[in-house]
Amino acid sequence: MRRAQYTEIHCKTALNRVQGMPFKWSLNPYRGCTHACQYCYARVSHTYFGLNAGEDFETKILVKVNIAEVLRQELARPSWAGEPVALGTATDCYQPAEARYRLTRRCLELFARFRTPISLVTKGTMVLRDLDVLQELTARAGATVYFSVPTVDRELWRRTEPGTPPPEQRLRVMERLVAAGIHAGVLLAPLLPGLSATPAQIEQAVRAAAAHGARFIGAGVLHLGPEVREHFLAFLEREYPTLVEGYRRLYGMRYAPQAYEAQVERRVREAKALAGYQAVLPSRREPSAARRPLQLALPLATSPAG
């Protein structure tokens, strides 16, 4: 892995309005990601900053050092209705930079304080550090943690997700969160045709997720948008050249054909049935009588931790 460069920036807004998704709001403390997943759909977002979707995305990380202060102002507005917010939609909020800057934790503290439910997607194991805040969020508003574990195959993991913690470490952290009362589970996403989307790979991943107590197991097939397509096909040329032509045929457009996606969905259902798996729904949370802020034991710092 190449050494990352961190650029501290100031954001004007923390919450981003989202269209065409199951949630209306997202939040990303960082841009770019040293996890360097070869297939990451968020790579294209780096081009908005005049950077490239390849090496720049993996090594030039933008850090929104004032995001907690801006978020505090946004959540305190009388117009804020406490709608769910998704974290980790354009970067992993628990990539290594979080150990230094602690921006994700500070934002979670604010969501708990202002009774705002959240969901977050991560491949990082540092989320365990924030178990106390996630428990508070679960009690006051609701929190769901999605662990992205597309494969438990060690060789495939090393090649496709070179900067991430090993899959078994992610599953062990998920197991500890579940034991502590957090609604946490696994996303087999993205599943890669000819690689992690094979029946054997899916069955292996589903069994591992079930064995570690995942409260839910979701899945999704790879899609290849602009910039990401070129990067991923170049990766296949280096690592899996025999698959390149098949991918070109399958991905004439951004998404794989619906018939193929339906086939993969069926494989996931069959794997769950073979494992005897049933999802566990979160317990119903009674609505709060008021949206009074929670006074946290640790005050929020006015500058990022060093």
Q: Does any domain span residue 237?
A: yes
Q: Does any domain span residue 247?
A: yes
**pTM of model > 0.75:** yes
Q: Does any domain span residue 185?
A: yes
User: Which residues, given as ranges, of the chain have pLDDT below 50?
Assistant: 284-306
User: 86: which residues sit within 8 A by CB, 6+ positions away?
Assistant: 18, 21, 23, 25, 26, 27, 118, 119, 120, 121
Structure confidence at residue 291 (pLDDT): 38
CB atoms within 10 A of CB 249: 9
Q: Does any domain span residue 90?
A: yes
Domain that holds residue 203: 5-275
Structure confidence at residue 60 (pLDDT): 97
CATH code of 151's domain: 3.80.30.30
The Cα 178–Cα 258 span in angstroms is: 33
Q: Does any domain span residue 104?
A: yes
Q: What is the total count of domains within the chain?
A: 1
Q: Does any domain span residue 289?
A: no
Q: Which of 146, 118, 6 has its CA nearest to residue 65?
A: 6
User: pLDDT tens for residues 152-161?
Assistant: 999 999 999 9
- Is the distance from CB of 206 to CB of 24 less than 8 angstroms? no
Q: Determine the longest span between alpha carbons in the chain, in angstroms.
A: 60
Q: Which of 291, 280, 277, 261 has its CA nearest to residue 114?
A: 291
- Is the distance from CB of 217 to CB of 204 less than 8 angstroms? no
Q: Which of 249, 270, 271 has its CA nearest to residue 260?
A: 249
Q: Does any domain span residue 295?
A: no
User: pLDDT tens for residues 248-305?
Assistant: 999 999 999 999 999 999 999 999 999 999 988 775 444 333 333 333 332 222 222 2
State phi, psi for 125 to the nearest 5 degrees: -95, -10
Q: Does any domain span residue 36?
A: yes
Q: Which of 95, 275, 118, 93 has its CA nearest to residue 184?
A: 118
Structure confidence at residue 1 (pLDDT): 52
